[in-house]
Amino acid sequence: MIRESHISKAIIRSALRDLEEFSEVDVAITGAGPSGLTASYYLAKEGFEVLVFERRFSFGGGTGPGGNLLPRIVFEEEAIPILNEFNIRYVKTEHDLYVADPVEVIAKLASRAIDAGARILLGAHVQDL
């Protein structure tokens, strides 16, 4: 029979092993928003040990509905190679602007960063590096 204490011990032991590993990284990034996730992907892909600190208990930063509360975010032309590399779908609009679904953007950025080897620590407040 599995007891609650068995579950708690499994969680604690696993988390403590991770925290110990987190003490030795090549690159520390604060914030798991689009910029932090993108940077962590490229660095981890090059073989660096990357840890992303995110103060919230979810990644994505402020990505989400903009001032209009509509589910789209806007990119300029320079971001298109990155969107393509991450297989993020977008639509070109007038004035050379591109719109994409923020849920897809954040999910794909986070997934690729994690798959490349970056680690994300949620609920971590960074005061000094």
pLDDT tens across 38-58, in order?
A: 999 999 999 999 999 999 998
What pTM, to 2 d.p., does this model score?
A: 0.85
pLDDT over 80 (residue 124)? yes
pLDDT tens across 56-82, in order?
A: 998 888 776 666 677 888 899 999 999
Could you give the 3-state DSSP secondary structure of residue 48? coil
Please state the three-class secondary structure of 71-95 as a single string: CCEEEEHHHHHHHHHCCCCCEECHH
What are the structural domains, with CATH classification, of the chain? 25-122 (3.50.50.60)
